Amino acid sequence: MISLNLGRSFPPAAGGSLRRMRQNQATPQTLSCSSSLLPNKFKRDYTSVMIVPTGVGAAIGGYAGDALPVARALASVVDCLISHPNVLNAAMLYWPMPNVLYVEGYALDRFAEGLWALETVHQNKVGLVLDSGIEEDLRIRHLQVVDATRASLGLPVLEYTVTDAALQVEKWVDPKTGQSTGRINRPDSLLRAVGTMVERSGVNAIAVVARFPDDDSDDDADNYRQGKGIDLLAGVEAVISHLVVQKFGIPCAHAPALLPFPLSPCLCPKSAAEEIGYTFLPCVLAGLSSAPQYLTQKSTSMGKNSIVASDVDSVILPIDACGGDAALAFARRKTNNRPLIIAVEENETVLSDTPDKLGIPVVKVSNYWEAIGVVVAHKAGIDPYSLRKDRINNIQRRNVPLQSRGMVMDMDMATALQL
C-alpha cells in the first residue's frame, strides 16, 4: 500500500487567536510518501534458478565471480534464488545474501530432475580436505585463511585433514565441446579423507583444496587474465565436487591451490578477483557455511523448509547452454508445472545447445537487464509480453475434440452435423 498526503494542518477552532491562525497558515505544505512492502500472504514464495555452466567460457560468469552482480540483482526481486558455486564464488570475494541457496552442480541436476530436495539450514558443520600434494608454504597460507574466516566471519569450520596420497589433478580442454574438463588420478584418497571426517567429526559440508598443476601456457593464462577464452581450472573443479556430492550426498565445493601469478599491469576486471590473495578459499567456506542440505524425495525428514523442483518458477541461463541435465529436466516438466525458462542472448559460451536446436520453449532476452524485468513481471502475475510493443495478439479459439461413434470430431464439425 502506498499513501500520499499533501496538505496543511486543520485551521484552529473558532476563538483561536488570529496570530496563531496566521502561523498555522504559514506552515509549509508537507509531502509524505510511505510504502509498505509486506509479503503477500496469499501467494507462495517466488523461486528462481540461475545457471551459468562452468568451464564453458561464458561471457558473463566464465571468469572470477563476474556473474555475482547478476545474482545480487536477481536476489533483490525474488523470494528465493538457487544457484551454484560457479555463479556465487569470487575467489577472495563473496557477497552474503540470505535468500540465495548455494547448491553444488551435481546436486542442482538431481534437484531439477525431482530426485533430491533442498533443506534450508541455519548453519552447517564444515570440514576441510587438503591435498597432500600441496607444498608446506602453500598449505600454511590456506590454513591461515581458514582461521581468518573463523575469527573474523565466525564461519563454522570445525577441522581439516590431509589426503593420504597426492590427488594428481589433470586438466584439459574437450576437443569436441571446447569446454574445460579433467580428472584426479587418486579419487580413492579424496573419498577416504572425506569419509573419515564425516564419520569422526560429523561434518555435513566439505571444502576441498587440490593442488593444480602450474603448466598452463603463457597464452592460455594471459587470455584468461584478459577476460578471454575459458577457465581451464573450472571443469575439473566440478569433477572433484561432483565426486564428493555423489558419494556422500552433502554440500561440497572446491578451491584450487596454485602458486601466485606474476604481477600484471593490465588485467581484466572480470578476472581480477583471483589476483588479490593466495587462495580462492574464502568464498567457498562462506557459501558452504549455510548451503542447503540435500534430501532424497523419499526422505522422511522432508519438512516445511524443504524446496523441491516443482517450487521453481523461473530458470535463467545462457542462450546456448540449454543442454545440461538441469535445464533439460526443467524444460521437460509437465506444462502446468514447468518453470518459465529465460535464455540470455548476450551471455554466449563455447557450447551450441540453443533452445531452438533442442526444441525447448523459452523467453529469449537480449541481456540480464531484460531477464530481470521478465522475472519481475512473471512474479507479479503479468504476461511479460504485455510489456512489449505489439506482442499481444487476439485471443485464439482452441477446438475441443469430441468422441462420437468412434470418430473424433472438433466442435465445428459437430455443429455442422447437427445442422
Task: Give the pLDDT confidence of 237-259 residue by residue, as tens digits.
Answer: 999 999 999 999 999 999 999 98
pTM of the predicted model as reported, rounded to 2 decimal places: 0.84
Q: What is the pLDDT of residue 17?
A: 44
Q: Output the nine-digit C-alpha cell for 375.
A: 522475472
Q: Kindly indicate the confidence band of residue 223, based on its pLDDT and cuts at 50, 70 and 90.
A: confident
Instruction: Give the pLDDT confidence score for residue 272 in this predicted structure.
Output: 87
Classify 324 as helix, strand or coil: coil
Distance CA 121, CA 19 (A): 64
Mean pLDDT of the chain: 87
Work out the pLDDT band at 224, boundaries 50, 70, 90: confident
Residue among 232, 278, 287 at smallest CA distance from 87: 287
pLDDT of residue 35: 42
Split at pLDDT 50, 70, 90, the class of 404 is low
Identify the pLDDT of residue 399. 85
Q: Residue 411: pLDDT above 60?
A: no
296's CB contacts (< 8 A; 6+ apart) are: 115, 116, 117, 249
Residue 85 has pLDDT above 60, yes or no: yes
Please determine, for residue 357, whether its predicted confidence score (pLDDT) is greater than 70: yes
Shortest CA distance to 69 belongs to which of 269, 291, 349?
269
Sheet of strand 340-344: strand arrangement: 100-102, 80-83, 47-50, 314-318, 340-344, 363-365
340, three cell numbers: 518459465
pLDDT at 51 over 60: yes
Region 268-286 average pLDDT = 90
Q: What percent of the chain has pLDDT over 70?
A: 84
Span 172-196, pLDDT tens digits: 999 999 999 999 999 999 999 999 9
Q: Which residues lie closer than 8 Å to 392 by C-beta, 6 or more apart? A: 383, 385, 386
Q: 300: pLDDT confidence band, cut at 50, 70 and 90?
A: low
pLDDT category of residue 266 using cuts at 50, 70 and 90: confident
Half-sphere exposure of 10 (CA within 13 A, CB side): 4
- The dihedral over CA atoms of 376, 116, 324, 60, expressed in degrees to the nearest 10, equals 50
The beta-strand segments (E) located in 278-335 are 293-296, 306-307, 314-318
Beta strands in 25-124 (DSSP E): 30-35, 47-50, 80-83, 100-102, 116-119
Identify the pLDDT of residue 407: 54
Alpha-carbon dihedral sign for residues 350, 351, 356, 360: negative
Judged by average pLDDT, the poorest of 103-107, 127-131, 270-274, 356-360 is 270-274
> Does residue 265 come out as left (phi exceeding 0), alpha (psi in the -120 to 50 range) or beta?
alpha
Q: 419 pLDDT band (50/70/90 cuts)?
A: very low
**Rounded average pLDDT over 22-28:** 49
As a whole number of angstroms, the distance between CA 208 and CA 169 comes to: 13
Retrieve residue 211's grid coordinates.
593442488
**What does the pLDDT average to over 107-119?**
96
pLDDT > 50? residue 13 = no
